Amino acid sequence: MKISLQKLKIAGSEPVYFEETEDISEIAEMKNDIRKIDPVHVKGHATMQGNEVTCHFSIDGEMILPCARTLVDVPYPFHVDAIEVFSTSPYYQEEDESEIHPVDGEMLDLTPYIKENVLLEVPFRVFSEDKAVQENALTEGEGWELQTEAKKEKKIDPRLEKLQSLLNDQENKENR
């Protein structure tokens, strides 16, 4: 998604509005949990004041992520509001932690910043809401078992079993 700097200069302090559908499917090939991402809808405006261009935009879309329990595909809709600041000054040097990005040439390319904001929106984990998937999910295997709160309450820690038997013996003596 590119915006012409000339168009921003002509508009002066008035905002230049944009709305497009952007294909960022190549981020699914990076090392992240995104299995698939549909083209995202980007809507916003850009304003120019002096050598600085400020872009306010929102990104709406849906990505497919793996379920943390069963690894089945889970659709995850998202909405991101972003603000990016750019400098057109030929003397501006970007620093490591700078929030201002330099612009090379006569076009402002928002695509890398759209990708970055979408990647920041990926949640740590998602769970499938599908009842059939939840019912068919594995709860035990070779050398492992899914622990639930109900099972934890029933089961006594093996390290404390001996102590429990001593407490039971003492209670029996007191009740006599």
Which one, of 56, 22, 24, 48, lies nearest residue 122 by Cα? 24
Does the pLDDT at position 133 exceed 60?
A: no
Answer whether 42's CB lies under 8 Å from 19's CB: yes
The pLDDT tens digits for 18-49 are 999 999 888 888 888 888 999 999 999 999 88
What is the per-residue pLDDT for 142? 72
Does the pLDDT at position 99 exceed 70?
A: yes
Q: Which residues pair with 61 in a beta bridge?
A: 78
What is the per-residue pLDDT for 25? 87
What are 60-63's contacts with CB under 8 Å, separation 24+? 61/37, 61/118, 62/37, 62/38, 63/28, 63/34, 63/35, 63/36, 63/37, 63/38, 63/118, 63/122
What is the per-residue pLDDT for 55? 92
The pLDDT tens digits for 134-158 are 555 656 667 777 676 665 555 666 7
What is the per-residue pLDDT for 56? 94
What is the per-residue pLDDT for 33? 85
What is the per-residue pLDDT for 108? 87
What is the per-residue pLDDT for 62? 93
What is the per-residue pLDDT for 153? 58
d(C-alpha 55, C-alpha 46), whole Å:
4
The pLDDT tens digits for 53-94 are 899 999 999 999 988 877 888 899 999 999 999 888 767 666
Confidence of residue 51 (pLDDT cuts 50, 70, 90): confident
